[in-house]
Amino acid sequence: MHQYTVLLTPDPEGGYTVTVPALPGCITDGDTLEESLGNAREAITCHLRGLAIDGEPIPEEQEPPRLVMVAV
């Protein structure tokens, strides 16, 4: 079993865009938080399956990304 941090960014029109920092290119969305997380699980599963089919290594998240607000 793998665990990955997902980033849920609110969309101005509603819902969320979901990205997986440890898996570049793994992006999905959803209208609600629950739908977004379900879609994230599905997108991660498909992404990992594609990597395995291509013979690529499965990335492991070593340390969760940090979210920091910077004032400028």
Determine the pLDDT at residue 32. Answer: 97
pLDDT in tens, 20-67: 999 999 999 999 999 999 999 999 999 999 999 999 999 999 888 999
Phi and psi of 66, rounded to 5°? -105, 140
Burial track 5-39 (b if 16+ CB lie within 10 A, e otherwise): ebebeeeeeebbebbbebbeebebbbeeeeebbeb
Mean of the per-residue pLDDT values for the chain? 96
* Extents of the domains making up the chain: 1-72
CATH topology for the 1-72 domain: Double Stranded RNA Binding Domain (3.30.160)
* pTM for the full predicted model: 0.90
- Cα gap 6→3, rounded to integer Å: 10
Q: Give the pLDDT confidence of 7-29 residue by residue, as tens digits.
A: 999 999 999 999 999 999 999 99
What percentage of the chain exceeds 90 in pLDDT? 92
